Amino acid sequence: QVQLVESGGGLVQAGGSLRLSCAASGSIFSINAMGWYRRAPEKQRELVAAITNGGSTKYADSVKGRFTISRDNAKKMVYLQMNSLKPEDTAVYYCNAGSLGIGGLPGSYWGQGTQVTVSS
């Protein structure tokens, strides 16, 4: 089984920055892609950013140039650096992992979510 735990959310003013972290544990041998999803009030869940074991990345158009996803294999961690935050970035952010590449996301494993609130 795979366990994912997010941290780093909080309240920030527009234009500010936050870094989200996702710690993976358990049987992660088969995991080959991880992503950050978010769900805002009354909006559909969306994939914000994703990364493969090889380092290939994908971003939602709305966050390109502002967010950066990265990974640290040795520490079993995935990060989402969020800069130039906007009020529309306000959402609960979830870490996700799967075994079928970026195209197979969302995978079977989810973190508990961390709240990001951007004030105007």
Q: What is the pLDDT of residue 23?
A: 97
Exposed e or buried b for every residue in 63-85, given b needs 16+ CB within 10 A? beeebbbebeeeeeebbbebeeb
Report pLDDT for 74: 86
Spans of the chain below 50 pLDDT: none
pLDDT tens readout for residues 62-93: 999 999 999 998 889 999 999 999 999 999 99
Position 6 scores a pLDDT of 97
